[in-house]
């Protein structure tokens, strides 16, 4: 199993550009989520999904969109990038919503917005 994979690993955008961060998992996990990691702030939840077709907002959702058309994929879209979105983004998954099973994190995407 590859676990949780993310692409790209690095990305530089100009203010106002759009892009999609890709996330996939091959563990048949129902729950998937996106976090951003900023210095001194830990990781903060952006959006999450409890299954295909179901998404909801986390702590810091503004400026980001998500969709979940399949169990495996959970892309994160930035419609108009801003410098404040410069961060490292992590996708995570776990088997069942409401379970205490481990949440697995991907390797991250480092995004810089100029």
- Structure tokens, 86: 């410069």
Q: Which is nearer to another protein, 17 or 58 (CB)?
A: 58
Stretch that binds another protein, among 12-20, 63-71, 72-80, 104-112 (CB under 8 A): 104-112
Q: Are 92 and 35 in contact (CB under 8 A)?
A: yes
Q: DSSP class of residue 101?
A: P
Q: Which is nearer to another protein, 14 or 100 (CB)?
A: 100
43, 81, 111, 113: which one binds another protein (CB under 8 A): 43
The CB-of-8 to another protein minimum distance in angstroms stands at: 14
CA distance 94 to 110: 22
Stretch that binds another protein, among 18-26, 43-51, 61-69, 73-81 (CB under 8 A): 43-51
> End-to-end distance of the chain based on CA atoms, in angstroms?
36
Three-class DSSP category at 55: strand
């Amino acid at each position: 199993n590859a676990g949780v994979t993310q692409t790209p690993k690095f990305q530089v955008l100009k203010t106002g550009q759009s892009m999609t961060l890709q996330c996939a998992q091959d563990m048949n996990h129902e729950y998937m989520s996106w976090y951003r990691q900023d210095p001194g702030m830990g990781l903060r939840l952006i959006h999450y999904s409890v299954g295909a077709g179901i998404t909801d907002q986390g702590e810091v959702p503004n400026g980001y969109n998500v969709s979940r058309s399949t169990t495996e994929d959970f892309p994160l879209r930035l419609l108009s990038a801003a410098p404040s979105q410069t961060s490292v983004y992590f996708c995570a998954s776990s088997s069942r919503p409401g379970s205490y099973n481990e949440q697995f994190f991907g390797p991250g995407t480092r995004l810089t917005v100029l």
